[in-house]
Amino acid sequence: MIDIDQVRRDYLQGGLKYEDLAADPIDQFERWLQQAIDAGMEDPTAMTVATVNADGQPSQRIVLLKQVDRAGFVFYTNYESHKAQDIAVNPLVSLHFPWHALERQVKICGKAEKVSLTESLKYFSSRPEESQLAAWASAQSRPVSSRQLLMQQFNAMKDKFKQGKIPLPDFWGGYRIVPSSIEFWQGGAHRLHDRFQYTRTDSGWEIQRLAP
């Protein structure tokens, strides 16, 4: 057995004060995201997407955030994947950004909705050709007998579309998570972390400090 009960560190990079928060959580998120990018963090846009299936079983996976604005947080996937099947029966989703190097976390709760076909096409067309082909080749989340077979499927798609533009698959596109709450967590000494939660109300966003 690995002894891990004493694996810990203190968080000393600084606190988070109410008066330093932006009035809108999207502004606050973009500020932190830019700081994560400027700090040279690997995969600063990587986020955990948590969904729940029809049996109530939660599931998580890491995807990349591809757009954020006042409307919400956007990622792209196969619409026949496990996450898409979960969203079809329960569109309530949670996102999590673990910016360990900055001793920060952001948690977002909200509702998933498909982005428009135009948005999906625009993003798909901007992807590298190999990524476009991979979207066609991979039946995401379904069993595949070997990597060799996966590469055969990839090469078959490469040959199929070698003469022209690769079209958007009808089973592929984006989801926008429309947030109902966004929590910002900054590590603090003695485990007295700073946590602020924005909650959407009819009149705008309400901000509350949460106990660590």
* CA distances (Å), origin 136, targets 2, 128, 206, 210: 42, 13, 43, 45
| 76 is known to lie in a ligand binding site | yes
| 9 is known to lie in a ligand binding site | yes
| 11 is known to lie in a ligand binding site | yes
| 140 is known to lie in a ligand binding site | yes
Neighbours of 157 (CB within 10 A): 19
Amino acid at 167: P
- Please say if 31 is a catalytic residue: no
- Of 19, 57, 13, which is closest to residue 36 (Cα–Cα)? 13
| 150 is known to lie in a ligand binding site | no
Neighbours of 159 (CB within 10 A): 10
- Of 85, 2, 68, which is closest to residue 32 (Cα–Cα)? 68
| 175 is known to lie in a ligand binding site | no
| 64 is known to lie in a ligand binding site | yes
Task: Give just the sign of the alpha carbon dihedral 113, 114, 116, 119.
Answer: positive
Structural element, H or E, at residue 67 = strand 67-69
| 131 is known to lie in a ligand binding site | yes
| 62 is known to lie in a ligand binding site | yes
| 12 is known to lie in a ligand binding site | no
- Of 107, 95, 105, 111, which is closest to residue 60 (Cα–Cα)? 95
| Residue of 104, 176, 191, 209 with catalytic role | 191
* CA distances (Å), origin 129, targets 73, 81, 177, 193: 24, 21, 27, 44
| 99 is known to lie in a ligand binding site | no
Which residues fall in the annotated binding site for substrate?
Answer: 8-11, 66, 123, 127, 131, 191-193
Which residues fall in the annotated binding site for FMN?
Answer: 61-66, 76-77, 83, 105, 140-141, 185, 195
Q: Which active-site residues does the annotation give?
A: 191
Which residues fall in the annotated binding site?
Answer: 8-11, 61-66, 76-77, 83, 105, 123, 127, 131, 140-141, 185, 191-193, 195
